[in-house]
Each structure stands twice: as C-alpha cells, then as structure tokens.
Amino acid sequence: MTLAVIAVYMAAVLGVGALSHRLFSGTGEDYFLATRSIGPFVLLMSLFGTHMTAFALLGASGESYRSGIGVFGLMASSSALVVPAVFLFVGTRAWAVGKRFGYTTQAQYLRDRWGSDAFGLLMFAALVALVIPYLLIGVLGAGLTLTDVTGGQVPTWVGGLVVSAVVMIYVTYGGLRGTAWANTFQTLVFMALGAATFIYVVNAMGGLGATMLRLAAARPDLMVRGDNFTPIQYLTYAFIPLSAGAFPHLFMHWLTARKASNFRVTVVAYPICIAIVWVPSVLLGVLGNLDFPALTVPESNSVMVRLIGFHAPALLAGLLGAGVFAAVMSSLDSQVLALGTMFTKDVVNHYGYDKKMSDRQQVMVGRLFVAAILVVAYLLSLVTRTTIFAMGTWSFTGFAGLFPIIVAALYWRRSTKAGAFAALATVAVLWTYYFVQGWGLPDYTVGGTGVMPVAVVTLASALAMIVVSLLSKPPEAAIVDKFFPAA
Amino acid sequence: MRAAIYGALGLLFVIHTDVWLWNDGRFLLGLPVGMSYHLLWTVAVVIVLWLAVRYAWPKELGDRQ
C-alpha cells in the first residue's frame, strides 16, 4: 500500500512536469528562467517549496525530539521574519537588475558589478561547493524515509535513486517552468499532508491538549528552552535564514517573476507557510518522546515516520512518504537546475562558447549538466553518513556568510572589487576553521559561548567588505553609473 | 510611515529572543508558552510585512513590468 501511494504520487509529479512542457518554447530564456513570466501564486509556492527541504520535516522533528519546543523559535519563527525581509529588500532588487541586464546567475551579475572575471569564477566555485551538501540533504532524506515507511523492507539506496531519477526527468524535460509548476504542486502536497498527518496522529494519541500535558509531566525539560538553548544561541541563529539571500536556486526563482509586485504575496504569506509546515513538525517531534523515549540521534530523524507507523494505517504512512518526497524533490529540482544553469552560463558560455552555441545547444548542455549533477549527488549520498540537521546548518552558514556580498552589490555604490574579494576570503577561512572545529559536535558554538559560527562568519564578512572597500580605490564611475543610475 | 514600519521590523527581531519566557513552563492556547509566544509573534510579523508591502514598497520598483 505504502509503495503504491508513493508510486502514484511520483506519476502525478511527472504528469505536472509533462503538462508544463506544453508551454516550452525551446529557447534558453524559457528553459533557464521560464521567460520571466511567473505569477504571484506560483512564485510563492516555488520559492517556499524550494526553500523547505527534508530539513523542515525530518531534521526539525528529530531536533525537536531531542531539544524540545524551542526549535520552533530557533529555526522557524526567525525565518518567518528574516526570509520575507530578504525577499523584500534583496529579492526585488536582484529581480530588477536581472531584468534590466538580462542576467541568469549570480556570478554573471557580480562579475559585471565589480568588473572582475576572477571574482565571478570564485563566487561560482563557492556557490557550487555549498550547494552540494544541501543537495545531499534531499537525497539522503528520501532514502531514509522510504526505508522507514516500508519498515526497512526497501534499502536506503532505493529512495535516493527514485527521487534522483524522477527529478532528472522533469527538470531536463521542463526546465524552470516545469520546476516551478512541479514545485507548486509538491508544496501544496507536503503542506496538506503534513497538516493531515499531524491531526490524525495527535487525535490518535488522545488530542493535543491532553497529550501535551502528559508530556509536560513526563519531560518538563522539553516544554521550555531552559538548558536546551541559550538566548545568545537564539539571537545568533537568526543569522542562518540570511542564507536565503545567497542561495543560487532562490536567486533564479526571483528572476522568473513577471513583475516586481508579484513579490508582495510571497512576502506576506511566507510566515504563514512556515508556520503550517513547522508547527506540526516540531510538535510531532516533541510528542514522539511519549511513544519512543530512547531513540538515538540518527533514529530521531525518523521519529515522525515512527509515530505514523505506530498510530496510523499504512495509507497514511504512504501519504507521509509522498509528502516527504514532495519536500525533497521541490528543493532538489531547483538546486540541480541552478547548478546546471551556472555550469552552462558561468563556465561553458563565458569561457569560449558564448557566440558559438545556439539556444538549442545551450539548453542541451544545461540538461546534460543537470543529469550529471544528479548522478554525482546520488553517488555521494551512498557514502555520506551524518545527521540531516548538521549538514544543513553548515551549508546555510556558508551561504549566510556570502549574504553581505550580495547586499553590498545591490545597495552600496562605494563597495569595491577588493572589498568583495576580502569578504569572500574571510568567509572561506572562517567557515573552514569552524567546520573543522565543529564537525561531529552537534552542539558546537564558538568557544562554548553559545554564539553560533554563522553570526561570526556573516559579521566578519560584512566587516571585511566595509573596511577593505573604504581602504581601496573607489570603483570606476562607469560601473557605478551602470548599476546605480540617477533617479 | 516607512520609518515606523522598518522600525517595527527591527523591534520584532529584538523581541524574538524572549528571555523573559525562557524557563516558563506554563501553557497558553494549549501549548507551552515558549511556543505559543512565537506563534503570536509570527502573526505580528505577517501584519507588519503586510504594512510594509502596502505602505513601504521600495520606491524604485513601483510596479515595473
């Protein structure tokens, strides 16, 4: 039954991808950016679906199982403010620049913005290096979920393979429009199924109020932040959602908007969408302690699946599996498409083939890169073993560190190429240092102070940008006039 | 109006770290107060963001197509 539900869901996703292909014009602009034609609702759903991964369902419930209700404030509500603010102040500006100059990728823009080919190449390398662990979250999450919802009957490698194959088909076939449509469908699915799962399981456990009181009596430590989190950790963790301002896959989705005002719905509705996904996830994770009081860290990432297996029929287990697959694929598709587009535009086109390739050939190259990236990500997932939450946090830390570079490019006319290099170098050095120090230590903070590495990396990046820009020669007037025209 | 809305966004960021409820195990709206506070805070964020797109939309964008 479980496998049949998931199979039907996969067929439905492929159907949506095939439908979108009917609008495909065959041009590069259409494949890579859906001809900048996306309306407000699809923009909201595709941005939200792209941003939410298995991290929001499996990682969050696992972390809540271990640390209690404070996970909601730590990760979800901070994102509810910071991410829409990033869309409002950064996304709309990036959209305007992309529209005006015809950009498709961040490296294209930043290369022109600071007149440096080398900076564009380094930024490309940094973005690719940071997206790959993010991709692995999805592939690993799919594998673990399929194994859990089938009671261990299906090995872990199968789920990742299925997800990678389905994504490969509809992304290479439908491009960004197919991805946006499939994301919209999948986002609606995982929001609805997450809510349905929550209602069913909580009712089966005796109702939310009674169950929470029972848990409060048994595990009062999970009802408060207490020693599970520190205020300084809360404050500095709020830097993590700034990563949304540097994700290449979100950047590409911003550029698909038909007009700037299409961002309005996204900005206002985003916090509501976050609450719809994270409240069930956090509460189910916490409540899992009643039925499964002694899970190990890796086991706790599947606490939601275990609850369903314990309380619900196989049909619901299949639906939850489909919901997790929806969350996984709606991120994975945009990430691989963004990487394929970056390889095509920032490497193949920029270094020698710009005038030699037809539109159709560019689309073909983009498709081949998508396929190759998925194969590599899948193979890496077979040899990677770590908690989903830890991988996400380190990836987001690096992206948040790049955020000041994007902000300076868009807002600060006095920012210079030297400042941008300094900021990028600062992120690379600090990120590597903290990664080496903190890898394998889930509660790692800077010097044990409670300060999350992301805050130090981001603030140091901003400081390097400001100080080195002010100490270096002002940018050329031609560049400033191009990107900051007089009103 | 624009300054007030941006100020409200800043204030929301500051009161996100609710140290005054850190060890409070009471229940509000059927949930531990540390969680219900953040749900109510999220509602406040929605309201301020609505005001932002309504009254403080970046001037240079207008409704450009």
pLDDT score recorded for residue A307? 87
Q: Quick one: angle between helices A117-149 and A388-411, nearest 10?
A: 150
Which superfamily, per CATH, for A2-387? Sodium/glucose cotransporter (1.20.1730.10)
Q: Where are the domains of chain A?
A: 2-387
Range of the domain at B20: 2-55
Is there a domain that residue B65 lies in? no
Q: Is the pLDDT of residue A11 over 90?
A: no
pLDDT at B41: 96
Using a pLDDT cut of 90, give the percent of chain A over it.
42
pLDDT tens digits, one per residue of A382-417: 877 655 556 777 889 999 999 999 999 999 999 999
The answer to the question of residue B50 being in a domain is: yes
| Cα A136 to Cα A142, A342, A406, A420, distances in angstroms | 10, 18, 25, 29
The yes-or-no verdict on residue A130 having pLDDT over 80 is yes
Q: Give the model's pLDDT for residue B63.
A: 56
Task: Assess whether pLDDT exceeds 80 at residue A148.
Answer: no
Residue A487: per-residue pLDDT: 62
Q: What's the rounded mean pLDDT across residues A272-297?
A: 92
Say which residue, A184 or A91, is predicted with more confidence.
A91
A362-365 contact pairs (CB < 8 A, 24+)? A362/A28, A362/A31, A363/A26, A363/A27, A363/A28, A363/A31, A363/A175
Find, among A50, A81, A57, the residue nearest to A270 by Cα.
A81
CA A189 to CA A74: how far, in whole Å?
Answer: 25
pLDDT digits (tens, 9 = 90+) for A220-267: 999 999 888 899 988 998 999 999 999 999 999 899 899 888 999 999
Give me the total of CB pairs closer than 8 Å, taking one residue from chain A and one from chain B. 118
Cβ-Cβ contacts under 8 Å, B19 against chain A: 231
- Chain B interface residues facing chain A, Cβ-Cβ under 8 Å? 9, 12-13, 16-19, 21-25, 27, 30-32, 34-35, 37-39, 41-42, 45-46, 49-50, 52-53, 57-58, 60-65
Minimal Cβ distance to B63: which of A70, A260, A271: A260
The answer as to whether B17 is a domain residue is: yes
Nearest to B30 among A69, A208, A271 (CB): A208
CA distances in angstroms from A284 to A59, A146, A199, A279, listed in the order given: 12, 19, 10, 8
Per-residue pLDDT of A377-391, as tens digits, reads 888 888 776 555 567
Which pLDDT band, with edges at 50, 70 and 90, does A355 fall under?
low
Q: Quick one: average pLDDT of A86-110? A: 93
Global pTM?
0.91
Give the chain B residue whose CA is nearest to the CA of A278. Answer: B39
Q: How many domains are contained in chain B?
A: 1
Q: Which residue of A has its CA nearest to B45?
A: A81
Q: What are the residue ranges of helices labelled H in A231-302?
A: 231-237, 248-255, 263-291, 297-300
CA dihedral A21, A22, A28, A30 (to 10 degrees): -100
- A205 pLDDT exceeds 50? yes
Put simply, the answer to whether B13 touches A81 (Cβ < 8 Å) is: yes
- Residue B2, min C-alpha distance to chain A (Å): 13
In terms of Cα–Cα distance, which of A261, A73, A65 is closest to B42? Answer: A73
The residue type found at A440 is G
Q: For residue A316, name the pLDDT band (cuts at 50, 70, 90).
A: confident
Q: Give the pLDDT score at B65.
A: 45
